[in-house]
């Protein structure tokens, strides 16, 4: 198994230009993917903050109309 790694390592450096292009392409793709994911995460956080700030926020109050039957309301009067 060790001989395969040695052979592969030697073959990588036989054509230095091809190896450097491949390594730089992979590195560029990783950096670009990381940047795009960071941008998307920041955009999502900013969007949520903007919506919460402009709308009612994380809490909204719902009011029910008072019943005309007294304090028991919709549950009926037990007396």
What's the pLDDT tens digit per position in 20-49?
999 999 999 999 999 999 999 999 999 988
In a domain, 32, yes or no: yes
pTM score of the predicted model: 0.56
In a domain, 48, yes or no: yes
Distance CA 43, CA 33 (A): 15
Span 50-66, mean pLDDT?
A: 70
Tally of domains within the chain: 1
In a domain, 71, yes or no: no
What is the reported pLDDT for 65? 67
The parent domain of residue 42 ranges over 1-53
- Identify whether the C-beta of residue 19 lies closer than 8 Å to the C-beta of residue 13: yes
Say how many C-beta atoms besides its own lie within 10 A of residue 39's C-beta: 10
């Amino acid at each position: 198994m060790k001989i395969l790694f040695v052979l592969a390592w030697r073959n990588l450096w036989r054509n230095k230009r091809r190896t450097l292009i491949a390594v730089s392409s992979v590195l560029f793709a990783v950096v670009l993917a990381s940047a795009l994911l960071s941008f998307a995460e920041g955009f999502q956080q900013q969007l949520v903050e903007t919506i919460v700030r402009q709308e009612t926020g994380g809490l909204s109050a719902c009011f029910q109309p008072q019943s005309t039957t007294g304090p028991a309301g919709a549950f009926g009067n037990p007396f």
